[in-house]
Amino acid sequence: MILGRSERGKPPVEPVTLKILVAGGFGVGKTTLVGAVSEIRPLRTEETLTEAGRPVDDTSGVEGKHTTTVAMDFGRITLREDLVLYLFGTPGQERFWFMWDELSEGALGAVVLADTRRLEDCFAAVDYFERRGIPFVVGVNCFEGAARYPADDVRRALDLDDGVPLMMCDARERASVKDVLIGVVEHAMARSADRRQTVTT
């Protein structure tokens, strides 16, 4: 029996790899999201919050948080045999925003995680991806005990364009996170198709 091709006569599938960013404010659940869905042990760059950082790290609303991402989180998920996503979680604090330009290089799209208790914390991420034309979806992380608002109310509060998908999610649940990631890929592909059509017409 000759090896090298599958028994069905098809060559082995070489998966397409896509880069997705996970952004949002401090303590919104980015590290949790990457960890919930990654099929490999996530690479994390978390450090313990200290008294020295108290003046610049606003922990109001997330008083139970004791660590923070200082570089990035990294994970991987295979959506299909031929499609693999690499996930890069960005640091949330303003003093680490200089890293976003490097992390966003070559990204297909992004997830902006939002917390309704601190909705203003995701404004910077929304503005960042809008200015750079990077397709993104907003995932509202439904924390226990947080007030629940209709999606349209959250959309208005964030002043989102009609074309930006907004989804409710639980960053701890693999199935919920996977739905959000599929939403990013579909949105980015639709945006790309629209641009191609505009160029050819």
CATH number of the 21-200 domain: 3.40.50.300
User: What is residue 191's predicted lDDT score, i.e. its pLDDT?
Assistant: 92
pTM of the model: 0.79
Using CA atoms of 19, 22, 23, 29 in order, give the dihedral in degrees to the nearest 10: -170
User: What is residue 127's predicted lDDT score, i.e. its pLDDT?
Assistant: 95
Which has the minimum average pLDDT: 23-27, 173-177, 179-183?
Answer: 23-27
| Short-list 17, 131, 187, 35, CA closest to 123 | 131
Ordered by start, the domain boundaries in the chain are 21-200
Higher local confidence (pLDDT), 9 or 167? 167
Residue range 45-95, pLDDT digits in tens: 655 544 444 444 455 555 554 555 445 899 999 988 999 999 999 886 666
Residue range 19-32, pLDDT digits in tens: 999 999 888 999 99
Q: What φ, ψ does residue 102 adopt, rounded to 5°?
A: -70, -40
Rounded Cα–Cα distance for residues 118 and 26 (Å): 9
User: What is residue 109's predicted lDDT score, i.e. its pLDDT?
Assistant: 98
| Short-list 103, 109, 102, CA closest to 130 | 109
Question: Hunting for tokens 């990035």 — which residue is that?
Answer: 72
Q: Is residue 13 left, alpha or beta, with left meaning phi > 0 and alpha meaning psi from -120 to 50?
A: beta
Rounded Cα–Cα distance for residues 150 and 168 (Å): 10
CB 113 within 8 A of CB 30: yes
- pLDDT over 50 (residue 188): yes
Residue range 110-161, pLDDT digits in tens: 999 999 999 999 999 999 999 999 999 999 999 988 888 999 999 999 999 9
